[in-house]
Chain A
Amino acid sequence: MRSQKLFVSGGAFIPQFGTNKNDPSVIVSDFWLDSHPVTEAAFRKFLKSHAEWRDEKNASNFSDEKFTSFWLRREPSPNRVYYPAIFVSWFAASAFCEANMGRLPTTFEWEYAARASATKKDGSADGELTAQILDWYAQPNSANALFSVFQGKPNAYGIYHMHGLIWEWTEDFNAFFAATDSRQEGDKNKDLQCGAGSLNGANRENYAAYIRYALRGSLRAKDTLSNLGFRCAYDQKK
């Protein structure tokens, strides 16, 4: 089985955090998205042909010690070949996608494709879906071992594991975490602390979305996590 580039037909939707208070909905243009998260095997292939990422000193400018330790110092395990690639920074993920004629999806594109349930492209009315997603967030990491991206079932777009396996980078992951020190009156304080975060959310009962935005907002471009990976988006099929 292989990851494919799937067409996602554009449209309007209401993300948890939009750009315009007056109109909560956002329009996403047509785009293509990887059907599966990028695998370890695929990322190792990228490293083989990109020496600058194998250079520890160089890599440390664009990632952290965990990247170096996991990708550059450890022997790859044959069991993990199709596991999602983890311990990758935003820089590393962007570089990979670029090398594959793509880019990271924008947060809106990601959230748009992720709103699908197993049967419906727009699963935002599906409370079950939100509850299932929340359950995964609530379980400790130890309970959720990684597994092959080629297992499991796709959503209505044919996309696998938008939820339930790993967190994923987006191109503008930190656009929704505005400066938290706002001294001006009437400033649109979009930070995700307490009241400000909750009151600005489009759907106050979409706890799963809050959690995703909070996670993305807590990261910096060099950071890596044991459960943070990515997939690529494309503006045309190649």
Chain B
Amino acid sequence: MIRFLFFALIAFECAFPEVEFAAELPVEKAIMTSPPEVPPSITRDSPAKVIMALEVIEKVGKLTDGVEYTFWTFGGTVPGKFLRARVGDTIEFHLLNHPNNKLPHNIDLHAVTGPGGGATSSFTAPGHQTRFTFKALNPGLYIYHCATAPVGMHIANGMYGLIYIQPEKDLRHVDHEYYVVQGDFYTPKNFGAKGHQPFSMQRAIDENPSYVVFNGSASSLIGDNALKGKVGDTIRLFVGNGGPNLTSSFHVIGEIFDRVYFEGGSNFQENIQTTSVPPGGSSIVEFKVNVPGTFMLVDHALLRTFNKGTLGMLKVEGDPLKDIYSGKELDEIYLGDESVASALRKSSEKMTAEAPKAEVAKTNEKYNGAEIFEKNCSMCHQNTGQGLEGVFPPLAKSDYLLGIAKSKDRKEVVNIVLNGRTGKIKVNGKEYNGVMTPVSGLSNGELAAVLTYVTNSWGNKAKEFTPSEVAEYRKKVQK
């Protein structure tokens, strides 16, 4: 008789090989964690029956310092508990609605293949519990959320979380896994208005949130609540977006995602700066922290980060690696234009050195020769006309210059300015063999002013140049 039953069983199993007798599956209770922690990787390599029980709790919490809000939660937190199972598992799901709650709730897990994602089978009045069972047919990172009308309000009050169905071969080992879910919240007054704030249906319909935060609060991942790591650690973030309305442009400042399992799916992209996480969607990002510091988690739609609270922190400790990131190496004055820079440098040097008596240079009425000199000539000939030894000839007490300036025919000096000069010259006993580039754009009046200034400063003295004189010379030397 026993043998008959045995053969019958084998025959049955051969005919229906996919049938796993529920009684044969090992039964285990799911390990569930509160954010930002993630349950450990499941190491078994065959399916099991996994028991999950989530309790709905309506409770008052903190949106930011000084601001309270009534959250509707799965398991007492926003997001709710992190659920973890393996592809092929049979999951027996219990939903418990605490008797102190005011409203009925249900759950739609995106990992469920079945009507409502489980919502139709989990509608639970306060003080009651319901149960349904589903098979995890697909691996991936899935959002779960309440789906009781009005759904927008249930989700906007924080009723969402993540369920991770591991693939047959789980993702590679990392040092830390963390759980981060962005959500938008709607109150009649803007961010920061103190006291207990109610839900604003109108702002939710208008998609105009007052708070956009990670893990239900602007302070959930900052300061003492920051995520932690050490230099050299590999980090994986299971990122979700409960919405209800806004898409997240998820980015970690100062880090690049080595891998992004975009949309929480099976394939990954590499070397990503910012990844889109739609409401009701997810993403798995991995990166190695190479240098110490505080790395900010943000929504790169940055006004949300700065004005509505979408900011988290990852604090990495350890020794710096200066060849990867040096930190600030230099901080000095920047003056913009070079002539101004050298002028300021020279004037500060002049103050310390014993300066010759500053001559009041003659200027023509209209033009300021000193200014024109500073703009066009001082970069080479220097502010006090001393030039640069061996490179740029001096103008101060220059025998070469004054020789021309004191003669009757002074067109040479106009020639030099307008047409430039190359080749050997001797100035004050020293040889110069450089290139002076022509100075263009000066009118006769301007040229007269600067020539007058040069030939009457720093110990020089010569007859004033007039615009008409310059005009005549210009005609003669014009090329």
Contacts and interface: CB of A to CB of B under 8 A. Distances in A.
Interface string B102-119: 111010100000011001
B102 A66 contact: no
A217 B128 CA distance: 13
Interface stretch (A18-26, A28-36, A118-126, A220-228): A220-228
B374 interface: no
Contact of A134 (B127, B147, B198): B198
A191 B121 CA distance: 12
B115 A198 contact: no
A141 B58 contact: yes
A141 B205 contact: no
Given A141-B58, A211-B150, A226 B201 contact: no
B148 A192 contact: yes
B199 interface: yes
A210 B121 CA distance: 19
A180 B104 contact: no
A122 to B, nearest CB: 20
Interface in B174-205: 198-199, 201-202, 205
Nearest to A130: B201
Contacts of B254: none
Given A210-B149, A211-B150, A140 B125 contact: no
B149 A205 contact: no
A214 B128 contact: no
A191 B103 contact: no
Interface residues of B, number: 36
A91 interface: no
A51 interface: no
Contacts of A191: 120
Contact of B125 (A127, A138, A211, A215): A215
A97 B60 CA distance: 37
Interface in A176-233: 180-181, 191-194, 197-198, 201, 205, 207, 210-211, 213-215, 217-220, 223-227
A99 interface: no
Contacts of B116: 180, 193-194
B151 A223 contact: no
Contacts of B120: 180-181, 191, 193
A138 B70 contact: yes
Interface string A130-166: 1100110111111110000000000000000000000
Q: Which of B102, B120, B125, B198 has the most CB of A within 10 A?
A: B102
A140 B149 contact: no
B153 interface: yes
A140 B100 contact: yes
A223 B125 contact: yes
A134 B115 contact: no
Q: Which of A130, A197, A214, A227 has the most CB of B within 10 A?
A: A214
B115 A225 contact: no
Contacts of B103: 137, 211, 214-215
B205 A227 contact: no
Contacts of A66: 99, 127
Contacts, number: 109
Nearest to B100: A141
A193 B116 CA distance: 7
Contacts of A193: 106, 116, 119-120, 123, 147-149
Contacts of A213: 149
B153 A207 contact: yes
Nearest to B151: A194
B147 to A, nearest CB: 4
B150 A225 contact: no
Nearest to A207: B150
Contacts of B101: 140-141
B59 A140 contact: yes
B199 A134 contact: yes
Given A193-B147, A197-B149, A138 B157 contact: yes
A180 B115 contact: yes
Contacts of A138: 70, 153, 157, 198-199
B100 A226 contact: yes
Interface string B304-346: 0000000000000000000000000000000000000000000
Contacts of A217: 104, 123
Given A135-B199, A226-B99, 7 more contacts: A127-B202, A130-B201, A141-B100, A180-B121, A205-B201, A210-B149, A214-B104
27 contacts: A134-B198, A137-B103, A138-B153, A140-B60, A140-B102, A144-B102, A181-B115, A192-B149, A193-B120, A193-B147, A194-B116, A194-B119, A194-B149, A194-B151, A197-B151, A207-B152, A214-B103, A214-B104, A214-B148, A214-B149, A215-B104, A215-B125, A218-B124, A220-B125, A223-B128, A225-B99, A226-B99
Interface of A: 66, 127, 130-131, 134-135, 137-144, 180-181, 191-194, 197-198, 201, 205, 207, 210-211, 213-215, 217-220, 223-227
Sort A-B residue pairs by CB-CB distance and give the 6 closest, nearest first.
A218-B104, A218-B125, A180-B120, A197-B149, A210-B149, A210-B150
